[in-house]
Structure formats: C-alpha cells, structure tokens
C-alpha cells in the first residue's frame, strides 16, 4: 500500500547526529519524514534523576563521576558542573573502571558513578561492579539510570499520537541485544524494523529497505549492519548484565514511566546501589520554562519548533538536555541546520 507521507523514526542519537551531519533529510524525497526518537541516553534521563545525582554529589566525602555529556545537563536548579563550581567533587571519567580505580586509590572517599545509557553501556558498568566486588572495593557505588530500548520502542510503536511507520534501529545497541527482540515489535505492532550502521550509505540503504517494506505491506526485521549485528547478539555481555541488574520501572523524559524499562541492582549486588547508600530526598523537579525536549524526544515536535531554539538555548548556554548532548536532536539541528 502506498502512503502520502512515510514517517520513519531513527531511534538512536548517533543516527540523529549522522543524519544531520550528512544532510540526508535534504536529499530524501518529500514523502519520507525522518523523526528523531528517544535514543539519546543523556536526553531521556528524567529531571528527577539528574537532580538526585546533583544532590548526592553535594554529600560529604562523595566524588561523583560520570561521562562528559552529563556535566552540563541542567537539573531543576543547577547542573553537575554548577555544583562542581561550588566546591563539589565531580569528575569526568571515560570508563566505569576508572571510577573503580579512583575508589581504590581514595579509601576515605565514596566514589559514585552516575550511569546513563542503553544496552551498549550497561554491561560495561555491570562488569565494573563485578570487578569492584571481586576486589572488595566497598567505597564504590553506581547511580543506575540505565534504560532498556525495547520497552520504549513498544510504547512508541503503540502510540497513535506519534504514528511511526517504521524504525531505523540502533546499530550499537543491536550488537549487544541482537535482532531477535525487534521481531516482536515488528509483528505485534506491524512496524518494520531495519538495523543499520552509521555511515551515510548505511542509513540511506536502511531507509530504502524500510520504504520498500512499507510499500509492500511487510513488517519484517532486516539487518543492514551484518558486519556487527547477529540475531542472538552478544550473549556474554547479556549474561554479565543479567548477573548484576534486573529490569525495573523507569521514568523517561518525554515518555514518562515505562514498565520494566530501567535496571535495578539484584540483591547480591545491592551494596553497590548509590540510591541505597545515599537516600537523599529529591524535591519535585522543575522543567525549564519553554523547553519542549519532552515533545522532541517523542518525535512530536522538531527542535526548530521550540521558541528558545538558537536564542535562549544554544550549545554554549543550553536550557534543555537535547541541546547539551552530543547525540541530542537540538544540538544536531543547531550544528548542521536542516
């Protein structure tokens, strides 16, 4: 069946950046609309979870560690960078294992790693936790804000408001998860899924395959990234993840609470849970006035629809996470224009 406009969602923030950088939107036919999804981990972290990290960073003898993109994300009142300026010990790390080493070298401090990310990142953190347990490093903990992609995809696939016709699926996440979990999304919701790499040619091939499927009335899962993705994925990484964490309900910016879309510590590892270790009371969060990141993350609005875009909100003075993150839609549009 032919459609007037085919709406395809690129789920992954790396795809969002690649699409903007290569100008793909400008060259595809007008009947295809590409919308950005919730695949930027920094952007989908809820305001409350950011506020909690900031409050823990202010606790006595805490060293808060995280990936660079999280530093400037605005919480309700300040950011991790803001509290660092006021004297809190906040450090950027490139790997969760760096935080474990930091804890070993500073036994009088409590080193917390604020973890955000999807199935690509969380197995690395699980393995760092296993390592900390093995080496009996008791002054290390993790603030788990990890998310699982598939419950979010289900929420989007079932949403009439968003009305996506097919998914350009994340290459990196699929290396770990494999293609099998998409089959349920494709079948149950009638949405074709194509897993692609990150080059311009990869993405265009992915779009072509999706459009072909939609025009034929197919709802299949295709792997357009066979050099890295298999049906089963990385079983070792999945079992490391499963050893430390189990699914739990999680709050997403834009999508709200999604059942079993986050990760909580299993009992054997709960000692490393920063939420237990630092039970701070987080006040009701405040979303910046005028920021429509929530709509942008659902693909309902485009960054340019935000009246703050490029005026009050720029990469050097970001109001919302979508302008801070190197994978954010607003940052992509600001940088490359479209």
Number of residues this chain uses to bind ligand SF4 (CB under 6 A): 14
Is residue 37 a contact residue for ligand SF4 (CB under 6 A)? Answer: no
Q: Which of 296, 298, 299, 332 binds ligand SF4 (CB under 6 A)?
A: 296
Is residue 17 a contact residue for ligand SF4 (CB under 6 A)? Answer: no
Burial 99-137 (b: 16+ CB within 10 A, else e): bbbbbeeeeebbbbbbbbbbbbbbbbbbbbbeebbeeeb
- The CA distance from 300 to 71, in Å, is 27
Q: What is the DSSP pairing of strand 245-252 with strand 256-265?
A: antiparallel
**By C-beta, is 208 or 301 nearer to ligand SF4?**
301
Q: Which of 20, 57, 293, 332 binds ligand SF4 (CB under 6 A)?
A: 293
- The CA distance from 231 to 238, in Å, is 13
Smallest gap from residue 252 Cβ to ligand SF4 (A): 15
Specify the residue for token string 């009246």: 307
The piece of 116-124, 126-134, 234-242, 285-293 that touches ligand SF4 (CB under 6 A) is 285-293
Is residue 306 a contact residue for ligand SF4 (CB under 6 A)? Answer: yes
Q: Which of 251, 313, 325, 332 binds ligand SF4 (CB under 6 A)?
A: 313
Is residue 34 a contact residue for ligand SF4 (CB under 6 A)? Answer: no
Smallest gap from residue 68 Cβ to ligand SF4 (A): 18
Determine how many CB atoms are found less than 10 A away from the CB of residue 175.
18
- The CA distance from 323 to 228, in Å, is 30
| Start-end of H helices in 24-148 | 24-27, 41-44, 47-57, 80-85, 96-105, 122-134
Is residue 297 a contact residue for ligand SF4 (CB under 6 A)? Answer: no
Is residue 320 a contact residue for ligand SF4 (CB under 6 A)? Answer: yes
- The CA distance from 280 to 46, in Å, is 16
Is residue 16 a contact residue for ligand SF4 (CB under 6 A)? Answer: no
The piece of 5-13, 16-24, 275-283, 307-315 that touches ligand SF4 (CB under 6 A) is 307-315
Backbone angles phi, psi at 249, to 5 degrees: -65, 145
Smallest gap from residue 329 Cβ to ligand SF4 (A): 7
Is residue 303 a contact residue for ligand SF4 (CB under 6 A)? Answer: yes
Smallest gap from residue 254 Cβ to ligand SF4 (A): 10
Residue nearest ligand SF4, CB atom distance:
320
Q: Going residue by residue from 236 to 275, which x/- string records binding to ligand SF4, judged by CB under 6 A?
A: ----------------------------------------
CA-CA distances (angstroms) from residue 110 to 105, 137, 149, 194, 274?
11, 10, 31, 43, 10
The answer to whether 109 and 61 have CB atoms below 8 angstroms apart is yes
| Start-end of H helices in the chain | 13-22, 24-27, 41-44, 47-57, 80-85, 96-105, 122-134, 149-157, 171-177, 180-189, 200-216, 235-244, 274-277, 293-298, 321-324, 329-336
The piece of 126-134, 163-171, 229-237, 317-325 that touches ligand SF4 (CB under 6 A) is 317-325
The answer to whether 77 and 50 have CB atoms below 8 angstroms apart is no
The piece of 7-15, 115-123, 145-153, 287-295 that touches ligand SF4 (CB under 6 A) is 287-295
Q: Which of 322, 325, 327, 332 binds ligand SF4 (CB under 6 A)?
A: 322
Q: What residues line the site for ligand SF4 (CB under 6 A)?
A: 291-293, 296, 303, 306, 308-309, 313, 319-320, 322-323, 330
């Amino acid at each position: 069946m032919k459609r007037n406009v085919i709406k395809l969602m690129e789920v992954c923030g790396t795809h969002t950046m690649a699409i903007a950088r290569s100008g793909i939107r400008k060259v595809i036919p007008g009947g295809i609309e590409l919308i950005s999804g919730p695949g930027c981990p920094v952007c989908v972290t809820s305001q409350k979870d950011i506020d909690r990290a900031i409050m823990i960073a202010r606790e006595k003898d805490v060293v808060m560690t995280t990936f660079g993109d999280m530093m400037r994300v605005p919480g309700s009142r300040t950011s991790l960078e803001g509290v660092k300026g006021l004297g809190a010990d906040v450090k950027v790390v490139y790997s969760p294992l760096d935080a474990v080493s930091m804890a070993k070298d500073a036994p009088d401090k409590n080193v917390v790693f604020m973890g955000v990310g999807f199935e690509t990142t969380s197995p690395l953190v699980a393995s760092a936790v296993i390592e900390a347990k093995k080496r009996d490093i008791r002054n290390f903990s993790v603030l788990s804000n990890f998310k699982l992609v598939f419950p979010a995809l289900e929420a989007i696939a079932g949403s009439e408001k968003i009305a996506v016709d097919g998914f350009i699926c994340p290459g990196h996440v699929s290396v770990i998860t494999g293609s099998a979990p998409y089959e349920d999304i494709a079948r149950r919701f009638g949405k074709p899924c194509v897993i692609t790499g990150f080059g311009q040619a990869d993405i265009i091939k992915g779009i072509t395959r999706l459009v072909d499927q939609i025009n034929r009335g197919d709802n299949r899962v295709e792997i357009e990234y066979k050099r890295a993705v298999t049906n089963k994925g990385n079983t070792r990484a999945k079992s490391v993840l499963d050893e430390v964490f189990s699914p739990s309900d999680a709050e997403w910016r834009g999508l709200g609470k999604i059942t079993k879309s986050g990760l909580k510590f299993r009992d054997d590892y709960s000692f490393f849970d920063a939420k237990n270790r630092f039970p701070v009371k987080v006040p009701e969060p405040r979303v910046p006035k005028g920021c429509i990141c929530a709509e942008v993350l659902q693909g309902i609005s485009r960054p340019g629809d935000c009246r703050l875009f490029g005026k009050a909100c720029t990469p050097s003075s970001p109001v919302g996470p979508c302008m801070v993150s190197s994978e954010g839609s607003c940052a992509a549009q600001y940088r490359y224009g479209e």
